[in-house]
Amino acid sequence: MTKLKIVIQITMPDARSRSQAMALAAKANGVSSIGVTGDLKDRLEVVGEGIDIICLVSCLRKKLCHAEILKVEEVKPEEKKKEEKKPEEPKPCGCPGPCLCAGGYWQPPVPMVLCEPEPPAGACHIM
């Protein structure tokens, strides 16, 4: 099945009628998205697969009076552009002196030793 985009013009003077129209369209089989469009907010845009357009418009006419199909078009799937992957260039190493990381050798970092004088006996160790 192909995905269709249907634009229906409906008399929707207030927010309540817009919400009724969207609720009716949401109940239809195959609907994936709904939106109210147009300058006067008088168009209902329905997107989905396998939608019975005639049944949808008939239900809208029964509940909301005037409904007219303006446009039915096929939605083309978005084509993703394949980006060419460039080989990653080796990043410069942060090793001092000659770099042994690139050759598969790894030097462990030198442990840091802090020399602190021992506190005098009887001094408070909490602080």
Write the pLDDT tens digit of every residue in 31-54. Answer: 999 999 999 999 999 999 999 999
H-helix or E-strand spanning residue 25: helix 15-27
pLDDT of residue 78: 77
Measured from the Cβ of residue 8, the count of other Cβ atoms closer than 10 Å reads: 21
Average pLDDT for residues 79-84, to the nearest whole number? 70
- Would the pLDDT of 80 be above 90? no
Per-residue pLDDT, averaged over 49-60, amounts to 93
- With 0.75 as the threshold, say if the pTM is over it: no
Q: What is the rounded distance in angstroms from the CA atom of residue 95 to the CA atom of residue 111?
A: 15
For range 85-108, the mean pLDDT: 62
Residues 71-81 have a mean pLDDT of: 84
What phi and psi, each to the nearest 5 degrees, are found at residue 21? -65, -45
